[in-house]
Amino acid sequence: MGAFLRGRDLLTIADLGAEDIWAVLDLAKELKNGREPGMDARRHESKAVALILEKPSLRTRVSFEVACHRLGMHPVILGGSDNVFSRGESVHDSIKTLERYVDAICVRTFEQSKVEEIANLAEVPVVNMLTDEHHPCQGLADLMTIVENFGRLSGLRFAYVGDGNNMANTYLLAGATTGMEVAISCPHGYRPHEAILARAQELALENGGRIELAADPGAAVRDAQVVVTDTWTSMGQEDEHQRRLEAFEGYIVDPELMGLAATDAIFLHCLPAHRGEEVADEVIDAPYSKVFDEAENRLHAQQALLALLLG
């Protein structure tokens, strides 16, 4: 059961092939339903996982802590002045020490290069809990939510409207890997990374998916089964808030825009949401909004991921 994931790192969602993603989603579904086929959760009792939190966190910290608890693992929280980037000791020395104590290292930070540096140093699995460039664990939770609603991924039209940030990058790679039709609509100057777009195009060709860039949000959302957005001003970009509000005018996901989507469309948002900016209250509170299912699925997807990475 997913033995091919044991000992691996997860730095971006592209580190997983379609088979890997389905292994995580299938186990996450069983865990959510209270079944654990082939997995004795107690075998993880002696294991410890370091959670390095350079950014403040609610969903990430709680969902990872609870996931560890349910697996019988011990989470070691390294936040504030305890995180390896703020103590003055070299990252090299901190990680080479830390890996002697724990069985995996999970990192929530700013630059993707920091997660990559830790992965290069550590002999134990390293998981990206979030960077400014990628958010693979949120991507797994979102894919799980989509499967819960449609029973499949391949062939669905997935529309992302907003900033070409870590979520847009993750959706491009996840959708392309799983055979989805991913339409991205971002204002000029806020597109996803060109290298990630190119990689997503390659993956889409390999897996039967399709990547589409649309300047008009309506063109992206039209006939989509899944409509997604994210905050226009992410953590650390507060000084750009007013400029971003002006740049993103017209990109709010409101009832009029959702009216262009498929009749059975769902709405997703990784949270926190800035209501009245990227999403209207009438959308995020609508019956078709699955944002709290999506938030809950962080727990199940990450529990499955840790179980598979640590064997």
Residues annotated as catalytic (active site), given as ranges: 108, 135, 138, 230, 270, 298
What one-character-per-residue DSSP string does 208-249 give? Answer: T-EEEE-SSHHHHHTT-SEEEE--SS-TT-GGGHHHHHHHTT
Question: Measuring CA to CA, how many Å separate 63 from each of 138, 209, 231, 299?
Answer: 11, 30, 20, 5
* 200, amino acid identity: A
CA–CA separation, 199 and 125 (whole Å):
24
Residue 95 CB neighbour total at 10 angstroms: 23
3-state secondary structure of 35: coil
Angle between helices 166-177 and 136-150 (to 10 degrees): 50
